[in-house]
């Protein structure tokens, strides 16, 4: 994997950056939003449709695929790219987040975790080495180490121990990696919402000299200014020449504020999940298309949008599909929301290249009728 | 609407026919299978995907659209074609079938029917004139008169009265039609499974000199030889120069046997509904893709199929999607099943044009490992 940092507005360690990441399955431009294909499918879209909405890299979840159909079944069917018919870059997470969040966690030890499957209750042991084995079988271009994603708020003493454990697990992952020539292993900076622990974690992870770094355990319920602060105290400590990935973040405002603070990659189920629930992301904020006010509305979701949904259908039709519980409603909104985010990321890249990111950022907030968060440091 | 009968194998009143129907929204080749878009969407497919699987005309249900979002809402949003983003031919049924089959029927009188909505229990009066009004608002290219679809078995005395009522309602529809220059009103031949009542109904309907004729109330549970017999006794009585439409039929075997007996058009939810339930239609019959035997199967659904699903995905992947309850599983199978039927119809047209339909028919049955039904008369 190779990262080309092409433009930076101001300090390339802390400010907006534009570049590209090259993998064995082609490259993707950064800053990038990665749609989530939990079970080896971005819900409701074909790979063809996913390409048409501007996705260049997607994420899949190791936890789900390990349990069903099983990583060895995926490997036997040619690996994740061939399995799901997507020949562009893929990132897989380690499974750790789901183990800690889906409620089946039994025990955490130095060795690893024990959890029960959310599907059938079966008991599983997972370790850093196992996470590497599973992700090697899946065959994504970028893989993640097993880590503990801390909740918010969390006791400081627990956070210290957990952050250090995450660091030791990352080192074991780096040692155990099975396909280092084909797969890039990122580090995950944890540390809760404690600035000094974030710094400690960043120091531990960067010591491993990994090809990219993620920020985990953010956007977990903390106030946004605190999230912004954590980005600011961490970004400056990460090597300039490696991509930075803010995990689990995908609201338009956080994408803009994340890019403003030096983030290159993002992923989140928000655009696809809200789409299935009937909500469209638009420059002014959100449209809840189930509302009765849209029943006879002839306009597209967003007037200046070039996505398939906006080029062909009215809000009235989409509202009808949602009320009638027709799959196509969620599918069209998924296309729109992903297209909207891909367009937002492309606009940010362009603004960074043209040296006008801050103007773009102010306009973004104006269109939402809100004030931009405090001036950046 | 114009029907061009281009080829016939044997007697064009009773044998296989190939042609085309021209409407204001373009033409479609016959024999044709029409996918069903009950609520103004063929479940899970975009209009673009629907075109790509070879659909040239689709069906939508007046009953559902009258109740939700309301035919006037559809009209206000530009009519059904614009509403659903499909600019090719559309056929709407009258709503009668659903009134009689969805369980909300309250009363049938000479005037019409009273029924309760399956959505909210509200009471509605429907009449031949109302069916014309609703379908004029929807704006399909081919529309159907209100009729009573008889169950099987049914008392002969009831069948006589019902058949005559259907004929009187058809006459009222013909009188009440609001957009005769743009919409072609077909007649519907009923008569239950009584050969003489079928003939009586055909005589009543053809007296109205309509641009096309449907056969209703078949494939409602009767033995297949009886269905074949009804087709044989009715087809010969219908004018050669009008398309014949066998309503609610869509299993591959009945499509072949229907074409063999002079039918030009078919519709059915079977290919789309079975797809969502995980079953693929293939030349040898059916594949139940949920079965464990397909878990590691690298082959496409059907080796020689050119559909998007078969060109890009393995049976193993589709089985995974079905087990994981992912929408894409049903969508890919829907594409395959509709493509399979479109290909089957195209192959029949070609065989009729080449004067080798009977050879095609024998091969069709051989591929299924079954004997063809008795020689045709």
Catalytic amino acids of A?
A: 93, 267
pLDDT at residue number B100: 87
Residue A376: predicted pLDDT: 54
Question: What is the per-residue pLDDT for A102?
Answer: 86
Topology of domain A2-269 in CATH is TIM Barrel (3.20.20)
Which CA distances in Å does A48 have to A33, A44, A51, A55, A84? 18, 12, 5, 10, 11
Instruction: Report residue A174 CA to chain centroid gap.
Output: 21
Question: Which tokens go with A343?
Answer: 């367009």
What pLDDT is recorded for position B376? 54
Partner-chain contact B328 A46, CB within 8 Å:
yes
In sequence order, what are the beta bridge partners of A124? A115
For chain B, the domains span: 2-268
Residue A11's pLDDT band (cuts 50, 70, 90): very high
Average pLDDT over residues A14-31: 98
Residue that has been written with the tokens 């594409």 in this structure: B335
**Confidence at A377, pLDDT banded by 50, 70, 90:** very low
Cis (ω within 30 of 0) for the bond into B172? no
How confident is the model at residue B274, as a pLDDT? 98
CA distances from B4 to B8, B21, B23, B144, B256 (A): 11, 6, 12, 21, 21
Residue B123 per-residue DSSP state? E
Q: How high is the mean pLDDT in each 10-residue block of chain B (377 residues)?
A: 96 96 98 98 98 98 97 98 98 93 91 96 96 98 96 96 98 98 98 97 98 96 94 95 98 97 98 98 98 98 98 98 98 98 98 97 96 72
Q: What is the pLDDT of residue B377?
A: 46
For the record, the structure tokens of B52 come out as 């790509």
Nearest by CB to residue A295, choosing from B69, B83, B84, is B69
Residues of chain A contacting B, Cβ within 8 Å: 39-41, 43-48, 64, 68-69, 73, 76-78, 83-85, 295-296, 298, 308, 312-314, 316-317, 319-321, 323-324, 326-328, 330-332
Q: Which of A77, A316, A327 sits opposite B73 (nearest CB)?
A: A316
pLDDT, position A59: 98
Question: What DSSP string runs through A156-215?
Answer: HHHHHHHHHHHHHHHHHHHHH-S-TTT-EEPEEE--TT-HHHHHHHHHHHHTT--S-EEE
- Look up B141 and say whether it is catalytic: no
pLDDT in tens, A126-167: 999 999 999 999 999 999 999 999 999 999 999 999 999 999
What ipTM was estimated for this complex?
0.97
Give the phi and the psi of residue A76 in degrees, each rounded to 5.
Answer: -65, -25
Contact A94, A70 (CB under 8 A): no
Nearest residue to B132 via CA among B192, B180, B189: B180
Q: What is the pLDDT of residues A281-313, one digit of tens each?
A: 999 999 999 999 999 999 999 999 999 999 999
> Rounded CA gap, B377 and B375, in Å?
6
CB contact under 8 A, A47 and B317: no
Flag if B77 and A316 touch (Cβ within 8 Å).
Answer: yes
Q: Looking at CA atoms only, how far is residue A81 from chain B in angstroms?
A: 11
Mark yes or no for CB contact A77/B317 under 8 Å. Answer: yes
Q: Indicate which of B42, B75, B77 best probes the interface with A, i.e. most A CBs within 10 Å of its own CB.
A: B77
Give the active site residue among B87, B93, B241, B253.
B93
> Which pLDDT score is estimated for B41?
98
Q: Where are the alpha helices (DSSP H) in A207-251?
A: 224-235
- The per-residue pLDDT for B375 is 60
Q: Which DSSP category does B36 fall into?
A: B
B78 and A298 within 8 Å at the Cβ level: the answer is yes
Q: B317: nearest CA in chain A?
A: A83
Q: What is the pLDDT of residues A75-124, one digit of tens each?
A: 999 999 999 999 999 999 999 999 988 878 999 999 999 999 999 999 99
What mean pLDDT do residues A53-80 have? 98
DSSP secondary structure string, B302-328? STT--SHHHHH--HHHHHHHHHTT-HH
Q: Please tell me the distance from the alpha carbon of residue B174 to that of residue B146, in angstroms, as a whole number.
A: 11
CA distance B83 to chain A (A): 6
Chain B nearest CA to A289, separation (Å) = 14
Q: Which of A296, A313, A321 sits opposite B76 (nearest CB)?
A: A296
Smallest Cβ–Cβ distance between A69 and the set B64, B320, B331 belongs to B320
Q: Is the confidence at residue A215, as pLDDT, over 70? A: yes
Interchain pair B332, A41: CB under 8 A: no
- The reported pLDDT for the residue numbered A375 is 60
Task: State mean pLDDT over A63-70.
Answer: 97
* pLDDT score for B316: 98
CATH architecture for segment(s) B2-268: Alpha-Beta Barrel (3.20)
**E strand spans, B192-349:** 213-215, 244-246, 265-267, 279-282, 285-288
Q: Is there a contact between A69 and B323 if contact means CB atoms under 8 Å apart?
A: yes
Which residues on B lie below 8 Å from A328 (Cβ)? 41, 43-46
pLDDT for the residue numbered B101: 87
**Shortest Cα–Cα distance, B99 to chain A (Å):** 18
The alpha-carbon gap from B281 to the nearest alpha carbon of chain A, in Å, equals 21
pLDDT for res B365: 97
Q: What is the mean pLDDT of residues A222-244?
A: 95
Chain B residues with CB inside 8 Å of A272's CB? none
pLDDT tens digits, residue range B237-252?
999 999 999 999 999 9
Global pTM value = 0.97
CB–CB contact B73 A312 (8 Å): no
Sign of CA dihedral A318, A320, A323, A327: negative
Give the minimum alpha-carbon distance from A83 to chain B in angstroms, rounded to a whole number: 6
State how far the alpha carbon of A246 is from the alpha carbons of A219, A259, B236, in Å.
9, 10, 71
Which member of B48, B69, B295 has the closest CB to residue A69?
Answer: B295
Supply the pLDDT for residue B335.
Answer: 98
Q: Which residue has the higher pLDDT, A377 or B235?
A: B235
Contacts with B314 from chain A: Cβ below 8 Å: 77, 83
Query: Taking chain A, what is the end-to-end CA distance rounded to the nearest angstrom?
Result: 32
> Which residues of chain B have a CB within 8 Å of the CB of A323?
68-69
């Amino acid at each position: 994997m190779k990262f080309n940092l092409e433009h930076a507005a101001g300090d390339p360690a802390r400010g907006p950056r534009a570049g590209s990441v090259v993998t064995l399955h082609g490259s993707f431009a950064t800053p990038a939003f990665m749609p989530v294909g939990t079970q080896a499918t971005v819900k409701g879209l074909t790979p063809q449709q996913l390409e048409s909405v501007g996705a260049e890299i997607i994420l899949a979840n190791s936890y789900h695929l390990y349990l069903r159909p099983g990583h060895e079944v995926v490997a036997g069917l040619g690996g994740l790219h061939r399995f799901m018919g997507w020949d562009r870059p893929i990132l897989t997470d380690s499974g750790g987040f789901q183990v800690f969040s889906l409620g089946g966690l039994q025990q955490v030890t130095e060795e690893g975790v024990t959890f029960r499957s959310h599907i059938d209750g079966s008991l599983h042991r997972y370790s850093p080495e196992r996470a590497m084995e599973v992700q090697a079988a899946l065959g994504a271009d970028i893989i993640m180490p097993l880590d503990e994603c801390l909740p918010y708020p969390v006791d400081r003493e627990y956070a210290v121990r957990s952050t250090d454990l995450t660091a030791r697990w990352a080192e074991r992952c780096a040692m155990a990696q099975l396909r280092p020539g084909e797969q890039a292993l990122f580090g995950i900076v944890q540390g809760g919402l404690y600035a000094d622990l974030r710094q400690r974690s960043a120091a531990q992870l960067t010591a491993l000299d990994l090809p990219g770094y993620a920020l985990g355990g953010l956007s977990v319920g903390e106030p946004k200014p605190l999230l912004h602060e954590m980005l600011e105290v961490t970004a400056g400590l990460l090597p300039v020449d490696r991509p930075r990935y803010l995990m689990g973040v995908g609201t338009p405002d956080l994408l803009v504020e994340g890019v403003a603070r030096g983030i290159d990659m993002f992923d989140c189920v928000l655009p696809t999940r809200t789409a299935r629930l009937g909500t469209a992301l638009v420059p002014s904020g959100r449209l809840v298309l189930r509302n009765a006010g849209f029943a006879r509305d002839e306009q597209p979701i967003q007037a200046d949008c070039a996505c398939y949904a906006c080029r062909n259908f009215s809000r009235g039709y989409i509202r009808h599909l949602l009320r009638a519980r027709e799959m196509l409603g969620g599918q069209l909104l998924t296309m729109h929301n992903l297209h909207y985010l891909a367009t937002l990321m492309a606009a940010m890249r362009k603004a960074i290249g043209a040296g006008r990111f801050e103007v773009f950022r102010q306009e973004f907030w104006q269109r939402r009728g809100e004030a931009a968060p405090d001036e950046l440091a």
